[in-house]
Amino acid sequence: MNFIGTALPDFQVNAFQAGEVIPITPDTLQHHWSVLFFYPADFSFVCPTELGDLADHYAAFQKLNAEIYSISEDTEFVHQAWHAQSPEVGKVDYPMIADPAGVLARHYEVLDEQAGQAYRGVFILDEAGRVRSYTVNDMGVGRNAEEILRTLTAAQFVAEHGDRVCPANWHPGESTLKPGTDLVGKL
């Protein structure tokens, strides 16, 4: 299934954040950009490096009116225990969503049913909760927070300037393109 432009399903899950368990619903993800960051499991190997990398870049995401939501099939209590034990995960200030029933992982088709774990999916949602970008990696392939941040800024630019597009490796402040016949065969 192609998820570009699709809306969130109806759901209610819990998340661990700042020592508290908080409810998360589709309304929670409205009026700001959201990065849904699926990962296989707490107390694992690649996952803490990814969550720590996101934590190191969290302020940059917040400056762009974006919230990060990490998501695994673990419970909010396992998230809390992992947060308390792991130096990397202990840096996390963003919500860590518990999806033990697989509601979100199934909706976005990233759940490996046999393993009971989510593949490494990143879904960037706009302020209306619609998918603007997504990637899915195999279990062993870690992701880079800087590339997610770059993709978010490009998605925000395109949303704001609908007549312009961002070329490969684009970063804010660099030249963009205005699609038209005058560019055909010239790039």
Percent of the chain topping pLDDT 90: 86
Locate the DSSP E strands across 18-140: 20-24, 33-38, 66-72, 96-98, 111-112, 117-118, 120-125, 131-137
Give catalytic status of residue 47 as yes or no. yes
The CATH class, in words, for 13-143 is alpha beta
What CA–CA distance (Å, rounded) separates 58 from 149? 10
Q: Residue 3: which of 95, 100, 110 has the closest Cα?
A: 110
Q: Which amino acid is at 131?
A: V
DSSP 43: S
Stretch 95-115: mean pLDDT: 98
pLDDT tens-digit readout, 65-101: 999 999 999 999 999 999 999 999 999 999 999 999 9
Beta-strand pair 13-17/96-98 = antiparallel
Say if residues 108 and 3 touch (Cβ distance below 8 Å). yes
Model confidence at 54: pLDDT above 70: yes
Model confidence at 177: pLDDT above 90: no
| DSSP of 152-167 | HHHHHHHHH-TT-B--
Q: Residues 24, 41, 47, 71: which is the catalytic one? A: 47
